[in-house]
């Protein structure tokens, strides 16, 4: 098959088709990075076949090394592969936008009424369904990535390192990268690159295609990307300083959360203690109880868990409005916090992805990638175990309601081939009904 040729089943999606998918993804991306990556793998790789297995894992491994939410950056990377820069922007923005709007509305309800119990009720049904999605994804990715005893060993070592010793994500991935590079040099047969099953249909973009023209890096393109992203990143911060003053809450939030965006390696949980300490004790943007409530709201809504930072920005504006009304100050605080948290993500992808794409097909890099892919399976398994322990055994007691939903959701997807959206919607409805009756 030549580049650009596809079977009818793998026709290149139009920009409108992709746009509708990214919008849908933004509304159903529950479960933190594991659930979000699982949903993307199911939809993009297996169901729609827009991205091949190898290309998807190639992108995922790169995103795991970056600061910021890896699932949102993976969506941006895949959107960029499919429809160039505007495709990446659409995917990355729509991954976050539904969550941002919903969290703003919940923040308003929170400061007005003090509780959002119906959201928690829905999530009681959603959480075990997302766990089932994650487990199914671990099985699928693992069956393709762990192709010999060495790969199984790397996955097990990654799981042990992060689960029992708390090793940071980037350290695990870098260690796997080095091990794979050395193994590929001295024993390449033991480090085969992950790939789909031999009978799997072709994808629109997979390893059988040459690199697309827009994925080839140039110096001029890199300079444009850096210039545009830095202007977009810092213009609102400087505008906030001119508008409210350099000692105003908005400017301080822009500076603080820009710093946080640079150090969020290893997911939201790695940076939240630092953010909570600074936001509560140093800046007094919100109270400790409000910080915990914000984390609960972020876990309850779709989108990356790092969206809790938006709630911090919202509460900081509400509690310190200055000359503005509390709602306007809260809205601007939420907006600037979200902006400086996610604009850097586009910079990392648009600047680095072309160079990562050029490394495809090189034997030494493929061996390193195989080791990283195996390690990623162990990392995802760790998150699935951690997630499952909190959902199925809260406080050391079996939550039979959650167990029943998780088993039913897994069976529906794995054997009855029910789609993710019906499973998510059905589980949420069950959770809400259970709270009523």
The pLDDT, as a whole number, for residue 144 is: 75
Is the backbone of residue 320 left (phi > 0), alpha (psi -120 to 50) or beta?
beta
Q: Are 138 and 155 in contact (CB under 8 A)?
A: no
- Where residue 29 falls (left for φ over 0; alpha for ψ -120 to 50; beta otherwise) is beta
Rounded alpha-carbon distances, angstroms, from residue 435 to 169, 387, 425: 37, 22, 16
What Å distances lie between residue 359 and 20, 63, 203, 211, 351, CA to CA?
Answer: 31, 15, 20, 10, 15
Q: What is the pTM of this model?
A: 0.79
Predicted local distance difference test score (pLDDT) of residue 199: 45
With beta carbons less than 8 A apart as the criterion, state whether 157 and 378 touch: yes
**Which pLDDT value is given to residue 5?**
39
Structure tokens at 64: 């795991």
Q: What is the rounded CA–CA span in Å between residue 270 and residue 248?
A: 28
Q: How many CA atoms lie within 13 A of 144 on its CB side?
A: 22
What is the C-alpha to C-alpha distance for residues 349 and 225, in angstroms, rounded to an integer? 10
The residue with tokens 């789609």 is 419
CA distance 16 to 251: 37
Which of 416, 350, 352, 376 lies closest to 41 in space, CA to CA?
Answer: 376
User: In 114-148, which ranges are continuous DSSP H helix?
Assistant: 117-145
- Which among 224, 220, 204 has a CA at the least distance from the CA of 212? 204
Do 302 and 97 meet the contact criterion of CB atoms below 8 Å apart? Answer: no
Largest interatomic CA distance in the chain: 67
Q: SS3 string of 332-393?
A: HHHHHHHHHHHHHHHHHHHHHHHHHHHCCCCHHHHHHHHHHHHHHHHHHHHHHHHHHHHHHC
- Show the tokens assigned to 391: 């959902």
pLDDT of residue 215: 86
| Cα end-to-end span (Å), the chain | 57
What is the model's pLDDT at position 275? Answer: 83
Structure tokens at 49: 């076949």
CA 409 – CA 419 distance, rounded (Å): 10
pLDDT in the model for residue 319: 94
Question: In whole angstroms, how far apart are CA 258 and each of 68, 282, 336, 338, 345?
Answer: 11, 17, 10, 10, 11
Distance CA 303, CA 36 (A): 8
Cβ proximity of 352 and 344 under 8 Å: no
In this structure, the chain runs to a length of 437
Measure the CA–CA gap between 278 and 285, rounded to whole angstroms.
Answer: 9
Model pLDDT, residue 109: 87
pLDDT number for residue 201: 59
Give the separation between CA 100 and CA 16, rounded to whole angstroms. Answer: 22
Please check whether residue 200 is in contact with residue 49, taking contact to mean a CB–CB distance below 8 angstroms: no
| pLDDT for the residue 269 | 57
Each of the 437 residues of the chain gets a pLDDT tens digit; together they read 334 434 444 688 999 999 999 999 999 887 677 778 888 998 999 899 999 888 898 898 788 778 888 899 999 999 999 999 999 999 999 999 999 999 999 899 888 876 667 777 877 887 788 788 778 877 877 887 788 899 999 999 999 998 898 887 778 888 998 999 898 888 888 887 655 444 455 788 877 666 778 888 899 999 999 999 999 999 999 999 999 999 999 999 999 999 988 877 655 655 676 788 889 888 999 988 788 778 767 776 788 878 989 999 999 999 999 899 999 999 999 999 999 999 999 999 999 999 988 887 677 777 887 888 888 888 878 877 877 887 899 888 999 999 999 999 999 988 888 877 788 889 889 988 988 87
For position 194, what pLDDT does the model report? 56
């Amino acid at each position: 098959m030549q580049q650009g040729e596809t079977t009818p089943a793998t026709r290149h999606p139009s920009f409108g088709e992709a746009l509708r998918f990214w919008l849908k993804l933004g509304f159903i991306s529950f479960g933190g990075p594991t659930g979000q990556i699982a949903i993307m793998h199911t939809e993009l790789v297996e169901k729609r076949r827009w991205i091949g297995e190898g290309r998807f894992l190639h992108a995922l491994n790169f995103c795991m090394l970056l600061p910021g939410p890896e699932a949102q950056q993976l969506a941006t990377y895949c959107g960029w592969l499919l429809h160039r820069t505007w495709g990446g922007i659409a995917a990355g923005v729509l991954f976050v936008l539904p969550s941002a709007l919903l969290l703003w509305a919940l923040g308003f309800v929170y400061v007005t009424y003090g509780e959002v119990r119906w959201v928690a009720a829905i999530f009681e049904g959603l959480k075990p369904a997302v766990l089932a999605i994650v487990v199914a994804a671990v099985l699928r990715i693992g069956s393709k990535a762990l192709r010999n005893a060495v790969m199984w060993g790397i996955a097990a070592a990654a799981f042990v390192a992060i689960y029992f010793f708390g090793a940071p994500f980037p350290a695990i991935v870098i260690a796997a990268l080095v091990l794979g590079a050395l193994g590929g040099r001295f024993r390449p047969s033991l480090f085969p690159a992950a790939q789909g099953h031999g009978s799997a249909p072709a994808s629109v973009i997979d390893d059988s295609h040459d690199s697309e023209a827009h994925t080839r890096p140039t110096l001029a393109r890199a300079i444009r990307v850096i210039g545009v992203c830095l202007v977009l990143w810092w213009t609102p911060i400087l505008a906030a300083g001119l508008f409210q003053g350099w000692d105003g809450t908005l400017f301080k939030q822009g500076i603080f959360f820009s710093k946080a965006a640079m150090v969020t390696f290893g997911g939201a949980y790695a940076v939240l203690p630092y953010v909570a300490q600074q936001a509560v004790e140093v800046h007094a943007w919100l109270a400790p109880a409000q910080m915990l409530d914000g984390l609960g709201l972020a876990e309850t809504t779709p989108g990356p868990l790092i969206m809790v930072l938006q709630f911090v920005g919202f509460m900081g504006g509400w509690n310190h409005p200055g000359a503005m009304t509390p709602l306007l100050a809260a809205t601007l605080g939420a907006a600037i916090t979200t902006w400086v948290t996610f604009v850097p993500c586009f910079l990392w992808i648009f600047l680095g992805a072309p160079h990562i794409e050029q490394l495809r097909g090189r034997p030494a890099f493929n061996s390193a990638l195989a080791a990283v892919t195996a390690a990623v399976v162990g990392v995802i398994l760790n998150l699935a175990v951690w997630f499952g322990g909190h959902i199925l055994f809260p406080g050391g007691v079996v939550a039979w309601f959650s167990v029943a939903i998780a088993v039913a959701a897994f069976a529906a997807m794995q054997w009855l081939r029910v789609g993710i959206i019906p499973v998510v919607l059905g589980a949420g409805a069950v959770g809400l009904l259970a709270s009523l009756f």
